[in-house]
Amino acid sequence: MELVTKKKLHIVSGRANLPLAVEIAEALGVELGDANTADFANGEIHCRFGESVRGMDVFIIQSHGASGSMSINDAIFEHLQMVDAARRASAKRITAVMPFYGYARQDRKAEGREPISAKLIANMFAAAGADRLMSVDLHSGQIQGFFDGPFDHLVAMPVLVDHIERNMGDDIVVVSPDAGRVKVAERYANALHADLAIVHKRRVKGAKNVVEAKEVVGNVAGRTCVLIDDMIDTGGTLVAAAEQLMEQGAREVCAAATHGVLSGPAIDRLKNSVISKVVVTNTLPLPPEKQIDKIEVLSIAGIIADAIDAVFEDTSVSEIFGGANQS
């Protein structure tokens, strides 16, 4: 008798960004599994899959960001718990899908006696039992090497480029808000057939999230400038860069980023800034109190769904992006 193995796909999500997971499941044409996540009275997190995952290809979705009463650390631990539960339930392969990778900016020792927290995150998921990781627009591409297994690095560029082409006119200049993002901004400039400019910035030593923009390299006078970054946290970088661009004669300044972290003073800064439009994706949820007219949210669900399908079918993820996801 010949045994025929049939692959089974199972999608489940934590609570940090459930609407995105629902969209992904709908795009894949599958039902989102129930992880039965809950909090005990003492603050401990608990989960229990509502159905068997034995022998299945399990994709566990969780954005590592604060949401409601859940902190970023709660989101990460809940994600780890679900991976551990899937491993103990005999899942055949476990992929931890993290649209936003927590602690990604702590990818090196900037000063002595510091941790490399991005590496620690990868280690914890390996220890929990993840066979594969998947994330969108990592802060630095080398994070892929922190995990000793396959790491699918997705990019939001197709979604953002399409929106920019349809809504921001022809005479645009793609602007990198600092030297570290030039390579990414150059990809956007090539995709949009646009010019590239760079804002040189200097961080204030000893002060966290404090940025001074210094000068602009490139011709921006009389043109629409589109600032490109992987994330908007407190908004200091973008606002300082936008002011510098307007001083150099830019007609309008817009911003596009994958991750709308928008912590601390970000909303007030953006609301009162010279930036006319901010476009982010839904890798992180945008609560009602942060929804202002300037901010538009695009869905990344289709791209993540395509990548999950490619992994499940053992086809190329890079081909989805034409190789533009390698950084």
Residue tagged active-site, from 183, 201, 205, 208: 201
Six token digits for residue 82: 């679900």
Q: What is the DSSP letter of 285?
A: -
Whats the size of the chain, residue-wise? Answer: 327
The total of other beta-carbon atoms located within 10 Å of residue 242's CB is 27
The span from the CA of 78 to the CA of 16, in Å, is: 9
Interhelix angle 157-167/182-192, nearest 10 degrees = 50
- Termini Cα distance of the chain: 48
Alpha helices in 193-300 (DSSP H): 236-247, 266-271
From 90, 275, 58, select the one nearest 177 (Cα to Cα): 275
CA distances from residue 69 to 16, 216, 264 in whole angstroms, order as listed = 10, 41, 16
Q: What is the DSSP letter of 166?
A: H
Q: What is the DSSP letter of 177?
A: S
The span from the CA of 319 to the CA of 170, in Å, is: 28
Q: Are 216 and 174 in contact (CB under 8 A)?
A: no
Q: Which residue has the tokens 């538009």?
A: 296
290 is catalytic: no
The span from the CA of 29 to the CA of 41, in Å, is: 36
Question: Which residues does the annotation mark as catalytic?
Answer: 201
